[in-house]
Amino acid sequence: MNNSPAQAPEGHLVFVHGGGVGPWMWRAQKEFLEGRFHIHTPVLPGHSPTGSGRYTTHADAARHVAEQINLDALQGDVRVIGFSVGGQVAMELAAAHPDRVAGTVIVSSVVLPWRHAASLAALSAAAAPLARLRSFARAQAKQLYVGEHDFEAYFELSRAMHRESLRNLMHANFSFRVPAAFTRSTHPALLLAGENEQKAMITNLERMARELPNGRFESVAGVAHGIPMAAAAEFNELLSSWLGTPGTENG
């Protein structure tokens, strides 16, 4: 029996979910790291199952995250992990609070603007009624590797998300430019992409990692968009290594 006293948590980890999903996407990461860190899983604007609130901009979302977790009052290092749109919000948060955010993990995020961002956002919003169909939601959930145990939460959010929130979110995603303050930061940044993601995303994340003062890129084999859910064990080990904590077997 190990009678040694439990170690105090090593700072704070803030997990920012992607667009159209919720904090439940981080279940495997919470189970893996809880006890070693204080874990925060905020909800992005427009992503309440009640349908309250609207998504406007990534900068506004970053402000909401900072308020939810009471960022200024947290003691110890704060590191932010964001998936897809959540990765873009994580960069906005780190750029706005360079004295509080000590490191960032960016997972499968667009880091250069797409052409015709406004048109793509409008098309996404026009398709919003389809998300209320269970069959369509299941197809979308499969692409994101949403498990059966999370499907009802995903479907509830799909039905509740307002078309304006979806349009604003998608426009912010497709038109995103990395904040200049983030590109200058010497804080460590880990950038991840699945090997089966769009080639442009992989190339852009690799290039960005090389250009950051303290960036690192890793590709995750056998997966496309949805690494934290589709390859949870490998993602957890990469994250644990980057955090400087010993990894353990995780199913």
Assess if residue 105 is contained within a domain.
Answer: yes
Domain harbouring 181, CATH code? 3.40.50.1820
Assess if residue 212 is contained within a domain.
Answer: yes
Maximum alpha-carbon separation in the chain:
62
- Which tokens go with 241? 């290594």
Is the pLDDT score of 122 beyond 70?
Answer: no
Mean pLDDT calculated for residue range 115-124:
68
Task: Tell me which of 2 and 16 has the higher pLDDT.
Answer: 16
DSSP bridge pairs for 194: 220
Assess if residue 88 is contained within a domain.
Answer: yes
pLDDT in tens, 153-197: 888 888 888 888 888 998 899 999 999 999 999 999 999 999 999
Assess if residue 152 is contained within a domain.
Answer: no
Task: Tell me which of 32 and 120 has the higher pLDDT.
Answer: 32
Assess if residue 164 is contained within a domain.
Answer: no
Assess if residue 53 is contained within a domain.
Answer: yes
Lowest mean pLDDT: which of 109-118, 125-134, 237-246?
125-134
pTM of the model: 0.89
Considering its fold, how many domains does the chain have in total? 1
Assess if residue 60 is contained within a domain.
Answer: yes
Domain residues for 67?
12-114+177-243
Q: CA 42 to CA 79: how far, in whole Å?
A: 14
Assess if residue 157 is contained within a domain.
Answer: no
* Residue type, position 131, single letter: A
Lowest mean pLDDT: which of 103-112, 134-143, 233-242?
134-143
Mean pLDDT calculated for residue range 30-36:
94
